[in-house]
Structure 1
Amino acid sequence: MEGAALVAMGDNRSFRGDAGLMLGIGPFKVALEYASGRSASVIGKPAPALPRRLHAPGVGAGRGDDAR
């Protein structure tokens, strides 16, 4: 039996929140990948699975987006 798939909403390191720079999903994704020995599929932005039109300049950029 293979078990469940490991799926993550994103892999950003950090984002700007109300309290300033916040830890993003990426570090948690990497920790779960390490602990499980599996690779996660990223389904949130900016994952390749999203339609290309969402990656146009200025579209989707805003509060909570990756602060890198």
Structure 2
Amino acid sequence: MINNVVLVGRLTKDPDLRYTVNGTAVAAFTMAVERSFNGADGQKQTDFISCVVWRKQAETLANYTRKGSL
């Protein structure tokens, strides 16, 4: 079974595209995701989520997104 997660946030830096020794594309990136509620201090809280995508999704991500992309 595969889990699906939908995150809405911004990239903290350009994706890091690399290739395995077999030629498989892999991209690592971090997303800044604001919580939908304020913290105890009344300020917005942001979570930083580390992500990895493989194959064609990795190449597409690297080609079409940059730091700050939504």
- Which TM-score applies when normalising by structure 1? 0.25
State which structure, 1 or 2, has the greater radius of gyration over its C-alpha atoms: 2
Greater helix content: 1
Richer in strand (by share): 2
TM, length-normalised to structure 2: 0.25
